[in-house]
Amino acid sequence: MSDIYKIREIGLLEQGLNMRLERQAAITANVANASTPGYKAVEVNFKNRLQSAVGQRLGMTETNPGHLPNKMKGVAGVSPGYKVSIDRTRIDGNNVDLDKEFTKSATNSTEYNALITVTAKHLRNLFSVFEGGQGQ
């Protein structure tokens, strides 16, 4: 794999890690406000915005298989979509479901750890290339 692609992948991985951190912050806020009357759970959604950003191109035509596709356009500026949950509310107006939040937190943590593992592998390969090795 070309070294330029490894560098681009690290940028995508960084963005993924940042998204997971932002999602965890929203989950933490929901858990912290589970007993606050009137509080509405907040959800963070990056999926649609990230897919849209990754799908965008500069309008260049790849006339040669050696050309680099510009799949990264717009990814660095992807911001999350926040939405207030419309789940059923309790009598006090709060709609935080702790079981749901804990499940989301566990899933988010697993995905974050997977991204860390992949990022570490890419960085090790890049350092190997910088030091004169072949990478993997």
In tens, the pLDDT along 78-136 reads: 555 666 777 778 899 999 999 999 999 999 999 999 999 999 998 888 778 777 755 55
Say how far apart CA 119 and CA 9 lie, in whole Å: 9
Would you report the helix, strand and coil content of the chain in percent, each value rounded to 5? 55, 5, 40
18 burial type by CB count under 10 A (0-12 exposed, 13-18 middle, 19+ buried): middle
- Distance of alpha carbon 5 from alpha carbon 11, whole angstroms: 10
pLDDT of residue 89: 80
The larger pLDDT score, comparing residue 25 to residue 136, is at 25
Q: Which pLDDT score, from 0 to 100, does residue 127 have?
A: 79
- pLDDT tens digits along 46-89: 776 666 656 654 444 556 655 545 444 444 555 556 667 777 78
Question: Nearest 5 degrees, angle CA 63-CA 135-CA 118?
Answer: 85
* Contact assessment for residue 110 and residue 20, using Cβ atoms and an 8 Å cutoff: no
Q: Give 6 or 132, the one with higher predicted confidence.
A: 132
Q: Taking a C-beta distance cutoff of 8 angstroms, is the pair 44, 101 a contact?
A: no
Ramachandran sector of residue 74 (left: φ over 0; alpha: ψ -120 to 50; beta: rest):
left
